[in-house]
Amino acid sequence: MINLTDENFDKEIQNTKKIVLVDFWADWCLPCKTFSPILQRIAKELEKEIVFAKVNIDEAPLAATKFNVEEIPTIFVFKNGKLIDKSIGLKTEIIIKQWLKTILEEYTKKDIEKTIKQYEKYAEENGFKLNPEKNVVNGIAKGLLANEKRYGERYCPCRRVKGNKEEDKNKICPCQWHKKEIEKQGHCLCQLFYKNT
């Protein structure tokens, strides 16, 4: 991860063709310390697509002021030097990965709708339903399409893909574990499929 300061912030953001994720944090911030290993794992997984950077707000107050950082951790995403999205507060690894994969991949509405219809049909045939929250279903569909583009398969966006087809085959959605998870928790891990009630 790149450490950004007031002096190098603009240069580093502007001089890359990749998407840049910037984590604003501080040493005294407990949620930041919890969030740091999550971001490090994601950074390792997405290092080919995203540049990961950190800004200690105590050491770079001008950058924090410029972007009106009032709560930490806050992460900003830049593309071509321009701010395109942000996330405030501590989030789970699954949520951040889905969010980033959505940013990385742009799909037509038609692709997303087609994917959702396929999983709707599967859910009906197996006695369960899709998550009633449409924005969640859309996000998961985008994550599935992103994985298909990146890895060649629609791996479940909430499972870690290692790049070994044999090891990863159980993670293709619907994954090997989804029926047991629905039975036990009422929904699968990524919350695409829900038990019919």
**Which residues are CB-neighbours of 161 under 8 A, at least 6 positions away?**
45, 147, 151, 155, 168, 171
The span from the CA of 18 to the CA of 13, in Å, is: 9
Q: Is 32 a catalytic residue?
A: yes
Cβ atoms of 187 and 131 within 8 Å: the answer is: yes
Beta bridge partners of 100: none
82-88 and 193-195 strand pairing: unpaired
Integer Cα distance of 111 and 90 in angstroms: 31
Structure tokens at 185: 């928790």
- Which of these, 58, 56, 61, 63, lies nearest to 24 by C-alpha position? 56
Task: Please tell me which residue in 29, 158, 175, 190 is annotated as part of the active site.
Answer: 29
DSSP state for residue 161 in the 8-state scheme: -
Report DSSP state, residue 172: B
The answer to whether 42 and 91 have CB atoms below 8 angstroms apart is: no
Q: Is 188 a catalytic residue?
A: no
Catalytic pick from 32, 156, 158, 190? 32
Give which of 22, 50, 44 is closest to 161, Cα–Cα.
44
Catalytic residues: 29, 32
